[in-house]
Amino acid sequence: MIDIATRINPAVSAVISQLQGRHLIANELVPAAAGATLDVIDPATGQLIGVAPAAQSKDVARAVGAAVAAYPGWAATPARQRGKLIADAIHRLADHAEIIATVLALETGKAIRTECRGEVTTAIDIAAMYAGLASELKGETLPFDPQILAYTSREPLGVVAAILPWNVPLVLMMLKIAPALIAGNTVVVKASEEAPFATIEMARQLAELLPAGVINVICGTGRDCGAALVEHPAVAKVTFTGSQAVGELIYQTAARKIIPVSLELGGKSPMIVYGDADLARVVAGAIAGMRFTRQGQSCTAASRIYVHASLFDAVFAALQEAAAKLVIGDPLDEATDIGTVISQRQKARIESYLAIGERTAGAKVMRCGELPRAGHLTDGLFLQPTIVTGLNEDSPLMREEIFGPVVCIQSWDEEDDVIARANDSELGLAATVWTHDLRTALRAVRRIDAGYVQVNQNLTIQPNLSYGGFKKSGLGKEASLEAMLEHFTRKKPSSST
Ligand code: NAD
C-alpha cells in the first residue's frame, strides 16, 4: 500500500491538513461547534484523506450570521468594485490551480489530467465572465408620463445558500457564487460531505481578497447541515445542484418560506445519430458526451444513444474499440484517462443496474478496457466503461439516471419514432443531434424537449450559454447574464414626480 502522503507533494498535504474538520466562516477556518467530523475517503485507495466538519444547526447559524453581517457593506459596494475584487481574486485562484486540482483528484477519484485541471480552469473562466458583467446590473427607464420618472433597478436578494453535489463541485460552486456575489449577495455554500476540501480551498483563496463573511463554506450531512441551511430564516434564496429527491425537499421548504429557488437536477440525455453522420465524430462525441473520463458521473451524460439502423453496427463496434483504449488508473497519474467513482455506495448502485442488464434476455453488456492492476489501487472504486444494447425502452437502464460509466445504445428507423423515444422521459436536461443535413438538425432541435440541445458536438456547460433543465431536470438557468439577473437579483420598479 502506497501512503497518500507519498502520492502528493508537501504543498498539497499542507493544504489538506489546514482544512481538517474546518468550515470557512468569515474568512477563518473554524472547527464544527460540536467538534463532530465526517471521514473523507480517497476512492482510489480506500485510505482516509482526512475529516470534514459535520455541521449542526449552531454551525449553520454561525455561517449565516457571518453572511448577514457582511451583507449591507457588500451590497453597498459599487457593482464594478465587486467585479474588480473578484477579477483580482482570479489571479490568486490561478496561482493555486494545481494544488486545488490535486486535492479534487484525491477526494473525488477523478483523473487529474482529463478532469480536475480542466474543472479548475472552467471555474476560473466562469468567475472571470461574471466579473466582467458587473456593469450589466442595470435597470430601465419607462415612458410612463413626461411628468413622472419611472424606472426599475436591480437589487440583491440577501444571503444566498448554495448547495453542491460531489461530481463537479468547483464549477457548480462558481456557477452559483460568482453571479450571486457580483449581484451584491453574500453566500453560504454547503459543500458535499463526500468531496469538501477542494471546494473549501477554492472558496478560501477567493475569500482572501473579499471582506470577511461575504463567502462562507460549511460542510455536513444533508439532513443536519443542508436542510438546516435551507430552513434558516435569514436565507433569502437557495440554489441547488443534486438529485431530484433532494431537490423536491428543498423546493417544499422554499415554498413554505416563500423564497426563490434554482434547481439543477438529474438527466437522461439522448444522443440521436442520423444515417448521414460522420462515424469518427460520432464515436469521439459519444465518448466525450458520455463523460467516460468522469466515470459517467455527469448530469448531462449522453447516456441513451439512438443510432440510425444503417450506422448502428459500425457505431456499436467502434464505440467499444474506443472505450477499450481509455486508460483506467490512479487519478493522480498523468497517464490515466479514467479514475474512480466517488463511493462504495455509488459503485454498488451502478453494478445493480449492470446486473439488471445482464439478466435481461437479448441484452448485451460490454465492459470495455482493463481495470488497473497496481497494488495500491486494489481497493479502488474502478469500473470499466460499459456499453449496453438490446434493452426495451422501459428498462430501468434506459429510464433512470445511473450516474456511472454505462451507456445504452439502441437503433432506430423512423424519425418520428426516435424523437418520441428521446422525449419519453420525465427528465429533460440535454440532448445532442448528429447529422450533416441542416434542415434535419434544425427540425430535430425544435422537436426535442430538453434544456440544452447541441448539434454534432457534446460539450459541457459553456460560460455565457444559459444552461438549465426542462421538466424534472430543474428550474432556472445558470452560467449566463440572464441567470445572474433573473436568479440573484430582484427588480424594483419606482416612479417619482
Ligand atoms: P444529492 O442530492 O444526494 O446531494 C447534493 C447535496 O445536497 C449534498 O451537498 C447533500 O449533502 C445535500 N443534501 C442532501 N439532503 C439534503 C436536504 N434534505 N436538504 C438540503 N441539502 C441536502 O446529490 P449527489 O449524490 O451529491 O449528486 C448527484 C446528483 O446531482 C445526480 O442526481 C446528478 O444528476 C445531480 N447533478 C445535476 C447537475 C445539473 O447541472 N443538473 C450537475 C451535477 C449533478
Instruction: Judge if the beta carbon of residue 230 lies within 6 A of ligand 1.
Output: yes
Examine the domain organization and report whether 349 and 397 are in the same domain.
yes
The pLDDT value given to residue 5: 73
Examine the domain organization and report whether 208 and 278 are in the same domain.
no
- Answer whether residue 467 is part of any domain: no
Burial class (CB in 10 A: 0-12, 13-18, 19+), 39: exposed
Locate the ligand 1 atom nearest the alpha carbon of residue 227 and give its number: 19
Instruction: Judge if the beta carbon of residue 220 lies within 6 A of ligand 1.
Output: no
How do residues 111-148 score in pLDDT, each as one tens digit?
Answer: 999 999 999 999 999 999 999 999 999 999 999 889 99
The alpha carbon of 164 and the centre of ligand 1 are apart by a number of angstroms equal to: 6
Examine the domain organization and report whether 149 and 167 are in the same domain.
yes
Examine the domain organization and report whether 62 and 165 are in the same domain.
yes
CATH number at residue 128: 3.40.605.10
Binning pLDDT at 50, 70 and 90, where does residue 361 land?
A: very high
Structural domain total, the chain: 2
Examine the domain organization and report whether 234 and 279 are in the same domain.
no
176 belongs to the catalytic site: yes
Ligand 1, atom 40, residue with closest C-alpha? 264
- Answer whether residue 64 is part of any domain: yes
- Answer whether residue 469 is part of any domain: no
pLDDT at residue 3 is higher than 90: no
Examine the domain organization and report whether 201 and 309 are in the same domain.
no
The alpha carbon of 171 and the centre of ligand 1 are apart by a number of angstroms equal to: 14
- Answer whether residue 173 is part of any domain: yes
> In angstroms, how far is CA 85 from the centroid of its own chain?
25
Examine the domain organization and report whether 331 and 346 are in the same domain.
yes
| pLDDT > 70: percent of the chain | 99
- Answer whether residue 468 is part of any domain: no
Instruction: Judge if the beta carbon of residue 342 lies within 6 A of ligand 1.
Output: no
- Answer whether residue 425 is part of any domain: yes
The alpha carbon of 180 and the centre of ligand 1 are apart by a number of angstroms equal to: 20
- Answer whether residue 446 is part of any domain: yes
The alpha carbon of 336 and the centre of ligand 1 are apart by a number of angstroms equal to: 27
The alpha carbon of 242 and the centre of ligand 1 are apart by a number of angstroms equal to: 2
The alpha carbon of 334 and the centre of ligand 1 are apart by a number of angstroms equal to: 29
Examine the domain organization and report whether 411 and 479 are in the same domain.
no
The amino acid at residue 25 is I
* pLDDT, mean of residues 447-472: 95
The pLDDT value given to residue 164: 98
How do residues 253-297 score in pLDDT, each as one tens digit?
Answer: 999 999 999 999 999 999 999 999 999 999 999 999 999 999 999
Instruction: Judge if the beta carbon of residue 163 lies within 6 A of ligand 1.
Output: yes
Catalytic residue among 176, 268, 347, 472: 176
Residues 250 and 163 sit within 8 Å (Cβ to Cβ)? yes
Q: Which residues form the domain of 405?
A: 270-462
370 belongs to the catalytic site: no
Examine the domain organization and report whether 438 and 457 are in the same domain.
yes
The pLDDT value given to residue 296: 98
Distance of alpha carbon 50 from alpha carbon 205, whole angstroms: 20
Binning pLDDT at 50, 70 and 90, where does residue 8 land?
A: confident
Instruction: Judge if the beta carbon of residue 192 lies within 6 A of ligand 1.
Output: yes
264 belongs to the catalytic site: yes
- Answer whether residue 282 is part of any domain: yes
Instruction: Judge if the beta carbon of residue 177 lies within 6 A of ligand 1.
Output: no
Examine the domain organization and report whether 296 and 163 are in the same domain.
no
Catalytic residue among 119, 193, 194, 264: 264
The alpha carbon of 222 and the centre of ligand 1 are apart by a number of angstroms equal to: 9
Instruction: Judge if the beta carbon of residue 222 lies within 6 A of ligand 1.
Output: yes
Ligand 1, atom 16, residue with closest C-alpha? 222
Cell of 347: 459503485
Instruction: Judge if the beta carbon of residue 474 lies within 6 A of ligand 1.
Output: yes
The pLDDT value given to residue 2: 59
Size of the chain in residues: 497
Mean pLDDT across the chain: 97
Examine the domain organization and report whether 241 and 138 are in the same domain.
yes
Examine the domain organization and report whether 308 and 360 are in the same domain.
yes
Instruction: Judge if the beta carbon of residue 196 lies within 6 A of ligand 1.
Output: no
pLDDT at residue 4 is higher than 80: no
